[in-house]
Chains A and B, each alone.
Chain A
Amino acid sequence: MSLPPYADLLGITLAPRDGEAPVLEMPFRDDVLGRPGFLHGGAIAGLLEVAAIVSLQHALAEEGGAKGPPARIKPVNVTVDFMRGGRDKPTHAEGIVTRLGTRVANVEAIAWQDDRTRPIAHARMNYLIARD
């Protein structure tokens, strides 16, 4: 799975998992800094968005296998809830496809630092699926 240049700017790396979409990790560094000592909300939202797309690509690959060209994913909207400040440590994120329909996919993503049960942010995204 290849990530876009924007994911490189955020420093995102993927940790593969058996049968599931990979978990993302974003290191803490100046490029993702907001106010001193804290992650920028935009960087957290960007990480969540990349996590959502990665999980959706994974779900589409699982569903479609090798048949036909890959479907295109068009973002419709995103709602991000920021639950706590991101501190100066690595941030993890995971996307969860809640529904993959013919034309629309509903995807969630969460970001956490030390403890997955204490997320720092949560996002809900709707995507249009364009199958050729």
Chain B
Amino acid sequence: MSGFNIDAFMNHRFGGHGGALGIVYHARSDAPGDTWVELALPYAGALIGDTDTGVLASGPIIALMDMATSVAVWVKRGRFAPQATLDLRVDYLRPAVPGRTVIGRGECLKVTRSIAFVRGIAYDETPDDPLAHVAGTFMLMDAQAMGAAA
């Protein structure tokens, strides 16, 4: 079982940019071996990118997915460790519906000695109808220590 206590980790409000956007912990998978994590981004006027339609800007969605996939790496590794986003690609499948909370689901596919590979989706109603798909990589800042342990 994972040694990373996500409930304890998520039991405080995010500070900084995540807090400014209103991002909170939402859910995680309880299936064994399944490591997805979900964060929630509640709809807010300050996050609007298109004032004509009220559609959210895509920046907050990127931030949500960066954070959700980042937490997914910690869940996969079973511990918190510093890491840096190397790259993140976001495909916008459709606009988020104004007024709805956006859920970001992050998943870590693979961890090597220095790199973690992630993917995720964002949805506002059901995961079957995602509004964005992401793929990315993180550089593990504790790679040296991890290499020694591996």
Chain A residues packing against B (C-beta within 8 Å):
4-10, 30-35, 39-43, 45-47, 49-50, 74-82, 85
B17: chain A residues within 8 A (beta carbon):
31-34, 39-40, 42-43
Chain B residues packing against A (C-beta within 8 Å):
15-18, 20-21, 45-51, 56-60, 62-64, 66-67, 82, 84-92, 95
A74: chain B residues within 8 A (beta carbon):
92, 95
In the complex, the answer to whether B47 meets A76 with C-beta atoms within 8 Å is: no
Number of cross-chain contacts by CB at 8 Å: 113
In the complex, the answer to whether B85 meets A82 with C-beta atoms within 8 Å is: yes
B88: chain A residues within 8 A (beta carbon):
41, 45, 79-80, 82
B49: chain A residues within 8 A (beta carbon):
4-6
In the complex, the answer to whether A42 meets B57 with C-beta atoms within 8 Å is: no
In the complex, the answer to whether B62 meets A35 with C-beta atoms within 8 Å is: no
In the complex, the answer to whether B20 meets A45 with C-beta atoms within 8 Å is: no
A40 to B92, CA, bound (A): 21
In the complex, the answer to whether A9 meets B58 with C-beta atoms within 8 Å is: no
B45: chain A residues within 8 A (beta carbon):
5
**Which of A8, A31, A79 is B89 in contact with, Cβ under 8 Å?**
A79
A34 to B62, CA, bound (A): 14
A74 to B85, CA, bound (A): 25
A45 to B59, CA, bound (A): 6
Q: List 12 A-B contacts (CB under 8 A).
A: A4-B48, A6-B60, A33-B15, A33-B17, A42-B66, A42-B67, A43-B63, A45-B66, A47-B59, A49-B58, A80-B87, A82-B87
A7 to B58, CA, bound (A): 11
A93 to B64, CA, bound (A): 21
